[in-house]
Amino acid sequence: MTNDVKEIFGSAGASPAPPAPAALAAKVRTLAPSMTRSMQRVAEAVADDPAGCAALTVTGLAELTGTSEATVVRTARLLGYPGYRDLRLALAGLAAQQQSGRAPAITTDIAVDDPIADVVAKLAYDEQQTLADTAAGLDTVQLAAAVTALAGARRTDVYGVGASGLVAQDLTQKLLRIGLLAHAHSDPHLAVTNAVQLRSGDVAIAITHSGTTGDVIEPLRVAFERGATTVAVTGRPDSPVTQYADHVLTTSTARESELRPAAMSSRTGQLLVVDCLFVGVAQRTYDAAAPALSASYEALAHRHRATRKGP
Amino acid sequence: MTNDVKEIFGSAGASPAPPAPAALAAKVRTLAPSMTRSMQRVAEAVADDPAGCAALTVTGLAELTGTSEATVVRTARLLGYPGYRDLRLALAGLAAQQQSGRAPAITTDIAVDDPIADVVAKLAYDEQQTLADTAAGLDTVQLAAAVTALAGARRTDVYGVGASGLVAQDLTQKLLRIGLLAHAHSDPHLAVTNAVQLRSGDVAIAITHSGTTGDVIEPLRVAFERGATTVAVTGRPDSPVTQYADHVLTTSTARESELRPAAMSSRTGQLLVVDCLFVGVAQRTYDAAAPALSASYEALAHRHRATRKGP
DNA sequence: GCCCGCGACGAAAATATCTTTCATTTCGTG
DNA sequence: CACGAAATGAAAGATATTTTCGTCGCGGGC
């Protein structure tokens, strides 16, 4: 009866991600959209004042947020913890970290009449935050799996439209530089047409912040059904796109506003993920990648002018 | 040897010592002599492995130390906490602090055999650094001038090839969204062809990290000579491209290496500059920009699938 | 040498806390 | 406007923590 500490909740399946230590704030923002109203209230309170909430019992937090204990436990579960007890523990850790000289994480939104210097500062801070959150919330197991798949792929297709299309192109450019066969598709029709050609051993990557972009989901689904290894880079780990993804890489969802549309910070997080993929693959295939990189660099040298200005 | 220590804990007076935050290890050592054998075992276990103990229940810790729950609670009390629950919370905080304390990897370069988690951390740190540097080094006067030019431009051309081409497209996408006439050119010939059409009141923007990319300099020169307002976004403020630029926006030049080619961090800085330009213009033209933004958002709504409400 | 008192210690009861179940309410939908 | 699905909270059920209380060992006094 006393030996019940080690439970096997790997079989539970629902929680492949281990509880996050400091990535909690990021997780809250990422998962908030898929929460119900009451749960959002709880999540907000938690993200707002970790230290305060850590001092509260389930009942206390339920009362504070005007909900019930059940809702609090449900929220804790959604955030990836077995129960409220563990969330509370993580909260205490987070509070301690913040205490010891961490960023206070206060961001005022960008206003219409902000001076340009403030705009620069706020944008920079915001994107830095996005990077930190994305890095903290990235599932390294999934990432490693995606890297392995990419490194051994016969060919790789990357799907993305709009702003995500540029990220897709960025990844493609990088992979091509280290000698991998990669192609970015932003035309939905051509994307599907190409996806049909994929088979086991190939890799398909879908990049969509919302996870609901049909033009991107469709080719991924086709690739998935053809047996290719599929990867989704999205800000919503529970969105439709993940249905057809063998590996899901989550980017942080930062605050957005009128002057700060989604395309901005989501792109930053996506690019970090893309960079991680690239470096990971470059590591695995180093012997081939390194010469390829310098070769591509040298091939472009003659297109650059002398560094110094003329007479 | 008799214990001549007289402790008066029985009285229900207010505890004079507030719960220790991180000085727990010290407290353990200080109080160890006044502890009984069993309590010392508990205290030792706690000081030895805060993280591990934080994961244990009273019963678990009692068993681990070969004592009883009551003893564990007594030890917690002696250490200044109301009960074991609070000791555990403090323990979790301590563990988190220790965890965050070790971050030695970030200054070193990315190595071929770095574990994937380190790659993520290093890349994120690096790009954060680039953002901070770029923000700090950005000339707000030049930026404001560029924004003014953009906001009043009849049309805007953006030149960039390779990785910078994607940044150029990003800027173009954003400007189009707020109703400005903008076009990105990555084809050098077409770029020049278009640059010839520019005249005073138009804006041309060249994006090149090295500042030496002929394919980008050339169209900027043409635009410059035609009387358009020219802007250069580059990492080298003294490079050839600045010859033909009315306004120079400098991005940070972070260190690069074999596994970390220039395209990575330079792109991050360039995107920050682009975002600043965009927000700046959106501010200036707010009355027109805001409706345009929401309109473009709504126009795309039907291309998104309903968010899955998973079982 | 034997008995007595003091305090450490743990088993188990008592309490607090967390988790689960289930009925009710709410909301979107046809 | 009725229907069904999802969300929510009240309360029962399960665990964990705290308290109580009796046993045991130790050292000193008689």
> Is A154 found in the same domain as A91?
no
Q: Which residues touch strand C (CB under 7 A)?
A: A 57-59, 69-70, 73, 76, 82-86, 88; B 36-39, 66-71, 85
> Is A168 found in the same domain as A49?
no
Query: Considering only CA atoms, which residue is closest to the C1' of nucleotide D19?
Result: B70
Nucleotide nearest to B71 (CA to C1'): C9
Number of structural domains found in chain B = 2
> Is the residue at B110 inside a domain?
no
Assess whether pLDDT exceeds 50 at residue A13.
no
> Is A196 found in the same domain as A97?
no
- Residue B233 burial class via C-beta count within 10 angstroms: exposed 0-12, middle 13-18, buried 19 and up: buried
- CATH assignment at residue A52: 1.10.10.10
* Nearest-CA distance A227 → chain B (Å): 23
Q: What residue numbers bound the domain in which A84 lies?
A: 24-105
- Give the Cα separation of B19 and B284 in Å (integer): 53
Assess whether pLDDT exceeds 90 at residue A48.
no
Protein-contacted bases of chain C (C-beta within 7 A): 7-12, 16-22
For A154-203, give the secondary structure using H, E and C. CCEEEECCCHHHHHHHHHHHHHHHCCCCEEEECCHHHHHHHHCCCCCCCE
- Picking from B101, B128, B154, the residue at the C-terminal end of a domain is B101
3-state secondary structure of B11: coil
Contact criterion met (CB < 8 Å) for B272 and A124: yes
Protein-contacted bases of chain D (C-beta within 7 A): 6-12, 15-21, 27-28
> Is the residue at B16 inside a domain?
no
- Give the Cα separation of A87 and B90 in Å (integer): 14
User: Of A5, A267, A304, which has the smallest distance from its Cβ to B212's Cβ?
Assistant: A304
CA A19 vs. chain centroid, Å, equals 16
For tokens 């330079």, the residue is B266
Q: How confident is the model at residue B126 (pLDDT cuts 50, 70, 90)?
A: confident
Taking the CB of residue A287, how many other CB atoms lie within 10 A of it?
Answer: 9
* Token pair in block for residue B155: 């049309």
pLDDT one-digit tens code per residue, A147-206: 999 999 999 999 999 889 999 999 999 999 898 999 999 999 999 999 999 999 999 999
pLDDT one-digit tens code per residue, B136-155: 999 999 999 999 999 999 99
Candidate from A51-65, A178-192, B93-107, B163-177 with smallest mean pLDDT = B93-107
Q: Is the pTM of this model over 0.85?
A: no
> Is B283 found in the same domain as B139?
yes
User: Of A128, A276, A308, which has the smallest distance from its Cβ to B120's Cβ?
Assistant: A276
Contact criterion met (CB < 8 Å) for A258 and B290: yes
Q: Between the CA of residue B76 and those of A244, B71, B105, B114, B185, what are the distances in Å?
A: 50, 9, 36, 41, 68
Q: Between the CA of residue B133 and those of A109, A125, A169, A260, what are the distances in Å?
A: 22, 11, 26, 21
Strand segments, DSSP code E, in chain B are: 156-159, 182-185, 203-207, 229-234, 247-250
* Token pair in block for residue B249: 């926006």
> Is the residue at A185 inside a domain?
yes
> Is B258 found in the same domain as B197?
yes
